[in-house]
């Protein structure tokens, strides 16, 4: 092992007990039926990589803050750790979570329900680091760039190798965004962004850039590949569709148990359970239907109400006495009055899949 570093080894199914969506670059999904606690174990947390995991030695790594700043800054890992640290419990969901259920099918990683997880992240607020560099009045966007790099295969694409990068508006960047070096009380693993990653609470996971190495301040909208080509969708706020970057999580709930096509004994009882999440609000109600959406009943909500974290829920289901297939559904409501939609918005393409989905089980 290099001094101050981690061994570089690709995660394997045997090591993680995960569903492999792609071997290289590695993309791993948590079997959502294994959900059993509020904080997701690090080894169970989904892994999304666009390029191979970079080999980084902590002692040689540096974070550079540059661009439209008053004082360019370069920080070693120990200097970051000496800054005032804070922690946040936050749910990250891949913007393509649930893609396998889309019809007609679309390209991209074929996630089912497990490209989501909830963890405790520890680090220094991004706003504190930006303050050290000094921001002029005209600063408006903050570009976060990772060490990971590679070539884009599918057109439209730029030529040559690029690094993964996303931007945040200044207001978000100086708010609750964290530069995290710990996950669940331990150093980040290589797969989760060692030695440093961004955590952008309330936004889809593509904004929480891993293997962070450069922060660039600018006075104009960033038009990078993962900002304007990939991880973008059509929005019709002005009447005509225009491409805009994906940002905030949409209110959503998912069933963990029973699993798809699970067989359950007729006339018995079953504890249906799952999780729900949203952005900048609290999940205040989760409803469950056990007859394909004809009737709905309230689930019991878990006690954890962390602002940026999912909320667990459960429901006592009296299984029908007649055998056959039945469809379970769930829908969430948040404190801002938003409800999980019944139908899909086609302008979202292969992303932001939060519509109510049916889960078939077999009563026998």
For residue 5, is pLDDT > 70? Answer: no
Per-residue CA distances from 181 to 239, 247, 337 (Å): 43, 23, 35
Strands 269-277 and 178-183: unpaired
Decide: 328 and 262 in contact? Cβ < 8 Å. no
SS3 225: helix
What is the distance, to the nearest Å, from the Cα of residue 247 to the centroid of all Cα atoms in its chain?
A: 11
Per-residue CA distances from 189 to 197, 211, 313 (Å): 11, 10, 29
pTM of the model: 0.94
Cα four-point dihedral sign 99, 116, 64, 126 = positive
* Tens-place pLDDT, residues 54-93: 999 999 999 999 999 999 999 999 999 999 999 999 999 9
Q: Which residues of 199-220 are buried (b: 16+ CB within 10 A; e: fewer)?
A: bbbbbbbbbbbbbbbbbbbbee
Decide: 178 and 86 in contact? Cβ < 8 Å. yes
Q: What is the mean pLDDT of residues 247-276?
A: 97
**C-beta neighbour count of 125 within 10 angstroms:** 20
Give the pLDDT of residue 237.
Answer: 83
For residues 134 and 240, which has the higher predicted lDDT (pLDDT)? Answer: 134
d(Cα 354, Cα 349) in Å, to the nearest integer? 12
* Tens-place pLDDT, residues 300-352: 999 999 999 999 999 999 999 999 999 999 999 999 999 999 999 999 999 99
For residue 97, is pLDDT > 50? Answer: yes
Give the pLDDT of residue 238.
Answer: 79
Tokens of 331: 């829908």
Tokens of 253: 């709930």
For residue 15, is pLDDT > 60? Answer: no
For residue 13, is pLDDT > 70? Answer: no
Q: What is the mean pLDDT of residues 211-220?
A: 98
For residue 18, is pLDDT > 90? Answer: yes
Give the pLDDT of residue 174.
Answer: 97
For the domain covering 252-363, report its CATH number: 2.60.40.650
Give the pLDDT of residue 11.
Answer: 43
Q: Where in the chain is the domain with CATH 3.90.420.10?
A: 13-219
For residue 8, is pLDDT > 50? Answer: no
SS3 127: helix
- Identify the band that residue 16 occupies on the pLDDT scale cut at 50, 70 and 90: low
Query: Which of 3.90.420.10, 3.40.50.10700, 1.10.540.10, 3.40.50.300 is the CATH number of 13-219?
Result: 3.90.420.10
Provide CB contacts within 8 A for 337, sequence distance 6+. Answer: none
For residue 6, is pLDDT > 50? Answer: no
For residue 299, is pLDDT > 60? Answer: yes
Please state, rounded to an integer, the average pLDDT across all residues of the chain. Answer: 95
Q: Where in the chain is the domain with CATH 2.60.40.650?
A: 252-363
* Tens-place pLDDT, residues 21-42: 999 999 999 999 999 999 999 9
Q: Where does 175-289 show beta strands of DSSP type E?
A: 178-183, 186-187, 197-199, 212-218, 232-235, 242-245, 252-257, 263-264, 269-277, 283-289
For residue 251, is pLDDT > 70? Answer: yes
């Amino acid at each position: 092992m290099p001094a101050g570093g981690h061994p570089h080894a690709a995660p394997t199914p045997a090591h993680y007990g995960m569903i492999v969506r792609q071997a290289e670059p590695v993309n791993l999904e948590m079997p959502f039926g294994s959900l059993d606690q509020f904080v997701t174990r690090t080894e169970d947390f989904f892994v999304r990589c666009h390029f191979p995991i970079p080999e980084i030695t902590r002692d040689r790594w540096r974070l550079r803050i540059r661009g439209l700043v008053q004082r360019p800054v370069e920080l070693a890992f120990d200097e970051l750790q000496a800054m005032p640290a804070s922690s946040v419990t936050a749910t990250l969901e891949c913007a393509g979570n649930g893609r396998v259920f889309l019809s007609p099918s679309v390209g991209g990683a074929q996630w089912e329900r497990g490209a989501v997880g909830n963890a405790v992240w520890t680090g220094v607020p991004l706003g504190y680091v930006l303050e050290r560099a000094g921001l002029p009045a005209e600063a408006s966007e903050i570009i976060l760039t990772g060490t990971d790099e590679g070539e884009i295969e599918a057109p439209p694409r730029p030529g040559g190798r690029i690094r993964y990068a996303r931007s945040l508006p200044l207001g978000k960047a100086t708010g609750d965004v964290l530069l995290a070096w710990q996950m669940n009380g331990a150093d980040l693993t290589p797969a989760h962004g060692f030695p440093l990653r961004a955590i952008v609470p309330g936004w889809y996971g593509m904004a929480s850039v891993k293997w962070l190495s450069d922060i660039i301040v600018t006075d104009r909208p960033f038009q990078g590949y993962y900002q304007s080509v990939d991880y973008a969708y059509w929005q019709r706020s002005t009447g005509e569709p225009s491409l805009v970057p994906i940002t905030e999580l949409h209110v959503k709930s998912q069933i963990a148990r029973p699993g798809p096509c699970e067989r359950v004994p007729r006339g018995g009882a079953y504890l249906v359970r799952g999780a729900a999440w949203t952005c900048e609000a609290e999940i205040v109600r989760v409803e469950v239907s056990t007859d394909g959406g004809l009737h709905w009943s309230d689930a019991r909500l878990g006690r954890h109400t962390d602002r940026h974290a999912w909320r667990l829920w459960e429901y006592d289901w009296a299984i029908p006495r007649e055998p056959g297939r039945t469809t379970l559904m769930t829908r969430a409501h948040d404190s801002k009055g938003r409800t999980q939609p019944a139908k899909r918005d086609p302008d979202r393409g292969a992303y932001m899949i939060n519509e109510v989905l049916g889960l078939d089980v077999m009563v026998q």
